[in-house]
Amino acid sequence: MSLKRKDLLGIQDLTVEEINLVLETAESFKEVTGREIKKVPTLRGKTVVNLFFEPSTRTRTSFELAAKRLSADVINFAASTSSVVKGETLLDTARNIEAMQADFIVLRHPEAGAPNILARLLRASVINAGDGGHEHPTQALLDLYTLREKKRAFKGLRLAIVGDIAHSRVARSNIYALVKLGAEVRVAGPPTMMPQEIERLGVTVFHRLDEALRGVDVIMMLRLQLERQGIALFPSIREYSRLYCLTPERMKLAGPDVLVMHPGPINRGVEIAPEVADSVSSVILDQVTNGVAVRMAVLYLLSGAK
Amino acid sequence: MEVKQASRTVMDAQEINRALTRVAHEIIEKNHGNANVALVGIRTGGVYLAKRLAKKLQEIEGTAVPVGDLDITLYRDDLNARKEHPVLRRTDIPFDITDLKVILVDDVLFTGRTIRAAMDGLIDLGRPGEIQLAVLVDRGHRQLPIKATYVGKNLPTALEETVEVYLEEAGTPDRVVLLP
């Protein structure tokens, strides 16, 4: 079985079957990542290029580990240290990389749709590692994997996604995925961080966090993008924190055995209280561990498409 | 599964069972009992056969041997050549194979490429003291210098023929069939 597509650009155009195929395949790779020798020869001779136009530690490292554990060769391009600063366009950069016989290009870019352009023009498989406010499909897939591991089924699962929904590609990819899989998705955040007509994606909007959390099985916190605060979406971080920080008191409103997730990096004391981030309900580090297995599955499944 | 008209049954349930019983005795004879012996079935057919052999070893010797499942997909040498990847399943070997006499179990020994992949996969999990190979059917046509330690039945075949092994555990009555 393979994904019958060259590229992974987003969750929106994936079928439920494709999502499940990735999650099932990732299970086999999780076994590999738990071994003493965490390496299989499957992608020997293939080249994976990480092309990152935005800072990232977790995602880039995770893709790098995933590729290395499949025995592929990995090259990391960070825009800040490449010819991009000399004025080279995205497409020229990518064409040059492809001329070096790259098989996969893992792209993170500040503009929504950048991976789609590359996918159309290049022979290499393109994997979207986050494009602007659009999608971050592998993050959603690793969140789903973690959820499935802990909660078994998606149908009827009640989730609250909390924070800056409007600027979050993680939220968007997760909403697409969870709604497809039959979960009940609530989104919570201040009106300035809530996209217009988000209800059309099949979610319920809350502006008061306490109401959103009532009885949920999973809380997905989003990072408050402090670097965006110049845009004045909120009077102050302190006020945001008072209204939207996940505290131990607020945790009591959620259902029993609630899971707390966060795509990282976390701002302790801003959107999540340290006691919550470090509590037994938190699966934040499981998400990171599972990320490698899920990305191995994506690389493996895309390499099978001919 | 459907069996074609012109097919020929080369082993029935009783013959399969007798062959496995003989192989179990040979394993015990060669290894002087079943201490330090582990069975690893190659997915999918080999997994069922490994469990059956383990049961027989326990009946004969009175002690259990560890049994594991090995998926060789990630070690195949034809992943690039195939149109589509085979379904990836889990490797599940819940014990340390280091210094054990590991007996790989498969249903049909043909080109030997599966066994090459299985040995690579196994060695990534530890350093077995010895690797032996038990197969239900050896149909010949090796492409690699690989030889089974235990053979249920030697079956001369033509290269274009197909050998199918049906097992109860997969929902079909036990039999080995040769298809033209």
Of A1, A31, A41, which is closest to B85 when you measure between CB atoms? A1
Of B71, B84, B126, which is closest to A304 when you measure between CB atoms? B84
Q: In this structure, what are the phi and psi dihedrals at residue A259, rounded to the nearest 5 degrees? A: -105, 140
Give the gap in angstroms from C-alpha A32 to the nearest C-alpha of chain B.
8
Query: What are the residues facing B130 on neighbouring strands?
Result: B101
Q: How far is CA A92 from the centre of its chain?
A: 27
- Residues 70-89 of chain B whose Cβ lies under 8 A from any Cβ of chain A: 71, 73-75, 79, 82-89
Predicted complex ipTM: 0.79
Q: Cβ–Cβ of A40/B75 closer than 8 Å? A: yes
Query: Which phi-psi region, left, alpha or beta, contains residue A77 (left: φ > 0; alpha: ψ -120 to 50)?
Result: beta
Of A2, A32, A39, which is closest to B85 when you measure between CB atoms? A2
Query: Residue B44: pLDDT above 90?
Result: no
Q: Cβ–Cβ of B124/A39 closer than 8 Å? A: yes
Q: Does B60 touch chain A (CB under 8 A)?
A: no
Collect all residues of chain B within an 8 Å Cβ-Cβ radius of residue A149: none
Cα–Cα nearest to A109, from A65, A50, A57 = A50
Question: What string of pLDDT tens digits covers the 306 residues of chain A?
Answer: 678 899 999 999 999 999 999 999 999 999 999 998 899 999 999 999 999 998 888 999 999 999 999 999 999 988 776 666 677 888 888 888 888 889 999 999 999 999 999 999 999 999 999 999 999 999 999 999 999 999 989 999 999 999 999 999 999 999 999 999 999 999 999 999 999 999 999 999 999 999 999 999 999 999 988 776 556 788 888 899 999 999 999 999 999 999 999 999 999 999 999 999 999 999 999 999 999 999 999 999 999 765
Q: Are strands A259-261 and A184-188 parallel, antiparallel or unpaired?
A: unpaired
- CA–CA separation, B40 and B153 (whole Å): 20
